[in-house]
Structures are given as C-alpha cells and as structure tokens.
Amino acid sequence: MTLVDGGPVLVEGPVELEMPDGTVARSDRFVVALCACRRSKRYPFCDTSHRKRVRN
C-alpha cells in the first residue's frame, strides 16, 4: 500500500472491498487507486477528483 500525498491510496490488486452498507466493490487491476478524499464519483475508486481544477 502506498499513500500519495494529497491523492489516493495505491494498493496492489486485485482487490475486493466490503463497503459499510454490505456491498462489495471489486477491481482486477494490478494497481488500484482508492479514493482518500471522498470526492470521487466512482468511490471507493479514485477518479482524480482530488486534483485542483485550474481555469485558463
């Protein structure tokens, strides 16, 4: 497991996570990014929502 400063938690996969409501989230990827900020629309998986949006 690797904690990314200001970003996700990287975990060697595949992973199976039991959520508080009892559902199970699975990923077969070799490295899985887990959301640490709870902003992800794909929670518990990271969708890079933690990145700051910069307007040009």
Identify the pLDDT of residue 53: 62
For residue 12, the number of C-alpha atoms closer than 13 Å in the C-beta half-sphere is: 1
State the Cα–Cα distance between residues 52 and 50, nearest whole angstrom.
6
What is the pLDDT, as a whole number, of residue 28?
96
pLDDT in tens, the chain (56 residues): 999 888 899 999 999 999 999 999 999 999 999 999 888 999 999 998 887 765 66
pTM > 0.85: yes or no: no
pLDDT of residue 55: 61
Query: Where in the chain are the domains?
Result: 1-56
Edge-first strand listing for the sheet containing 2-3: 2-3, 9-12, 31-34
